[in-house]
DNA sequence: CGAATTTGACCAGCGC
DNA sequence: GCGCTGGTCAAATTCG
């Protein structure tokens, strides 16, 4: 039996002691209440006696005085009992409060133990790997979660890792949720065809799948058609700067098609998960037209297998996103499958003070700015994680990564991942995964005019611990929401008994290794 | 040589 | 009904 078992025993012991204490306190209260009843009874009897005495001798002054004194004594006794009752009630309330506090602390402690034991949980809100003195388990960052303007939790702790040349001794990792409750116009056309940020029409996958009933083999068809209610198929879009053809998300993918979508010369590649046979999860990968460095990856479906170690949130968020989308009571999506038109927008802001990568003056001067990550829950796209831009852009442009784009040509010339290959949209995705030399951070010198957004995005893309931190924060948030709502609305999903439900914790934002190559690439 | 990728063909939905 | 589009299939090709 490991630490977990000990903590379990501790919980039991704690509960027993608290229960005993509670019982004792309650017993005392009951006794006092009985005493109170007795005193009332005594008072009644005394009054009867007084009446009797009155009837016997109404003119006896001495007896009357005695009885009056007796009454006052009884009255005082009653008052004392009442005060004791109040005190005991307060004691019970305090005990209950302490009990719940201890329960909460125990839950947190237990979660930490599981975090250490479970290699799939990358809850590391520590800084970068460049700090040698850093103890990942002892230096959690400031994590503040604002949800609908309500602070759900906040902890702050000093960080030992100090970025060179900067006065900050603490990385403030602030996870802010903003709920945009602005209503979109009800428009059936929007429901049928969603317009993607790159201007291409994007028909929801699930509608096709459910209509055609012949997607990728019968097993998949059955899974989709029987397990997922209409319009609810989990869907996660991730926008991230990525130099490789696909994002390394820990899962194995097999490319089964490629299509040039209308409005975007960059072809859209179609992948299916090959970790387990019959896994229905698909993903689409396409470069953003406005900013070729942005890779739009759309995941759809729920893994029917435990995710491999290192599988990302993007690959596994199907369940999380579904929970988020279907279970969040504040989510404007109704639970009866009707799509509402509200735009559910949230912004995760990360003041990133303590980044050793940010050594150039431009980056440093903006070091206190916030990095905005937009998990934009769109009724038609599902969850959209935008890991591309900074807080200085306008909302829309920030979401779509437009502001950074100068022109396509400039973009292509500006990114190292394009340098070894001419711009050939038709074979763009899927062919260039092996000729990536050096990431954005390790790219050629003389990029002083590179925008802040690119620097920040590069940090997000190149700093694995920051990605993990972001992922953990978002994951915990989504899990929290799922838990708070799951009791009333259990997720209507199947095929995720081991994999997706548990794997919803495993968020790793798309990453490049510092060398600019993914640790694992599904394409070759 | 087996596995993965490429790519043209095919299918279904949707709008006109 | 026809054309357009997105998504998938499967034979051909490439790669390790």
Render pLDDT for A452-499 as a digit per residue (tens, 0 to 9): 334 444 444 444 444 444 444 444 444 444 444 433 333 333 333 333
* DSSP secondary structure, A387-430, as one string: ES-BSSS-HHHHHHT-TT---HHHHHHH-HHHHTS---GGGTTT
Distance A514 CA to C13 C1' (A): 33
Taking residues A305-333, what's their average pLDDT? 45
Q: Which of A4-13, A263-272, A492-501 is predicted most confidently?
A: A263-272
Q: Is the pTM of this model over 0.75?
A: no
Question: How would residue A59 be classed by pLDDT, with cut points 50, 70 and 90?
Answer: low
Question: How would residue A330 be classed by pLDDT, with cut points 50, 70 and 90?
Answer: very low
Q: What are phi and psi of A318, to 5 degrees?
A: -50, -50
Which of A414, A440, A460 lies closest to A515, judged by CA? A440
Q: Output the pLDDT for position A57.
A: 53
Question: How would residue A299 be classed by pLDDT, with cut points 50, 70 and 90?
Answer: confident
Burial class (CB in 10 A: 0-12, 13-18, 19+), A139: buried
Q: What SS3 class is residue A146? A: strand
Q: Output the pLDDT for position A232.
A: 43
Q: What are phi and psi of A153, to 5 degrees?
A: -155, 150
Residue closest to C10, CA→C1'?
Answer: A256
Alpha helices (H) along A165-274: 188-192, 205-212, 218-227
Burial class (CB in 10 A: 0-12, 13-18, 19+), A113: middle
Distance A296 CA to B8 C1' (A): 25
- Residue A268 pLDDT > 80: yes
CB-contacts to strand C (7 A): A 200-205, 208-209, 212, 214-217, 256-259, 261-263, 268, 270, 282, 284, 434, 524
Distance A271 CA to B13 C1' (A): 22
Comparing A50-59, A282-291, A454-463, the range with the smallest average pLDDT is A454-463
Please say whether the beta carbons of A268 and A261 come within 8 A.
yes
Strand C nucleotides, any atom under 7 Å to a protein CB: 4-10, 15-16
Which of A139, A123, A510, A171 lies closest to A357, judged by CA? A171
Q: Specify the nucleotide whose C1' lies closest to residue A209 (CA).
A: C7
Distance A262 CA to C3 C1' (A): 15
E strand residue ranges, A282-405: 282-287, 294-300, 348-351, 370-378, 382-387
The residue whose two tokens read 């949130």 is: A313
Distance A227 CA to B1 C1' (A): 39
Distance A431 CA to C14 C1' (A): 12
């Amino acid at each position: 039996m490991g630490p977990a078992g000990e903590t379990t025993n501790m919980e039991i012991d704690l509960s027993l002691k608290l229960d005993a204490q509670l019982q004792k306190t309650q017993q005392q209260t009951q006794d006092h209440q009985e005493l109170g009843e007795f005193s009332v009874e005594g008072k009644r009897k005394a009054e009867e006696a007084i009446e009797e005495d009155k009837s016997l001798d109404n003119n006896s002054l001495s007896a009357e005085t005695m009885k009056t004194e007796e009454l006052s004594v009884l009255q005082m006794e009653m008052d004392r009992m009442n005060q004791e009752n109040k005190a005991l009630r307060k004691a019970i309330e305090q005990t209950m409060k302490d009990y719940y506090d201890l329960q909460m602390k125990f839950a947190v402690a237990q979660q930490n133990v599981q975090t250490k034991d479970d290699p799939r949980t990358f809850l590391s809100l520590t800084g970068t790997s460049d700090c040698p003195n850093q103890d990942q388990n002892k230096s959690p960052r400031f994590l503040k979660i604002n949800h609908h303007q309500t602070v759900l939790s906040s902890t702050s702790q000093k960080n030992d890792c100090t970025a060179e040349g900067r006065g900050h001794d603490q990385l403030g990792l602030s996870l802010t949720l903003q709920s945009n409750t602005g209503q979109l116009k009800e428009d059936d056309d929007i429901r049928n065809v969603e317009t993607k940020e790159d201007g291409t029409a994007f028909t929801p996958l699930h509608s096709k799948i459910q209509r055609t009933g012949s997607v990728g083999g019968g097993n998949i068809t059955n899974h989709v058609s029987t397990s997922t209610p209409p319009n609810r198929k989990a869907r996660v879009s991730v926008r991230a700067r990525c130099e490789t053809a696909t994002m390394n998300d820990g899962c194995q993918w097999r490319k089964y098609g490629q299509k040039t979508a209308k409005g975007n010369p960059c072809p859209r590649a179609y992948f299916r998960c090959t970790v387990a046979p019959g896994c229905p999860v698909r993903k689409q990968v396409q470069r953003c037209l406005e900013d070729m460095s942005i890779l739009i990856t759309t995941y759809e479906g729920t893994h029917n297998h435990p995710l491999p170690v290192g599988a990302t949130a993007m690959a596994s968020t199907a369940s999380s996103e579904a929970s988020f989308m279907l279970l969040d009571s504040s989510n404007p999506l109704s639970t009866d499958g009707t799509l509402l038109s509200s735009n559910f927008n949230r912004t995760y802001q990360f003041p990133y003070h303590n980044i050793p990568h940010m050594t150039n003056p431009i980056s440093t001067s903006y070091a206190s700015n916030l990095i905005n990550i937009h998990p934009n829950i769109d009724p038609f796209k599902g969850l959209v994680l935008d890991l591309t831009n900074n807080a200085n852009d306008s909302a829309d442009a920030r979401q779509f990564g437009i502001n950074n784009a100068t022109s396509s040509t400039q973009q292509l010339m500006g990114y190292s991942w394009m340098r070894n290959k001419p711009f050939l949209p038709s074979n763009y995705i899927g062919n260039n995964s092996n000729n990536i030399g050096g990431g954005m951070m390790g790219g050629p010198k003389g990029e002083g005019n590179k925008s802040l957004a690119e620097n920040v995005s590069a940090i997000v893309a190149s700093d694995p611990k920051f990605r993990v931190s972001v992922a953990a924060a978002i994951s915990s948030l989504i899990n929290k929401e799922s838990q708070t709502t799951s009791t009333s609305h259990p997720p209507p999903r199947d095929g995720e008994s081991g994999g997706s439900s548990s794997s919803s914790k495993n968020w790793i934002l798309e990453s490049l290794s510092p060398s600019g190559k993914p640790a694992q690439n599904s394409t070759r």
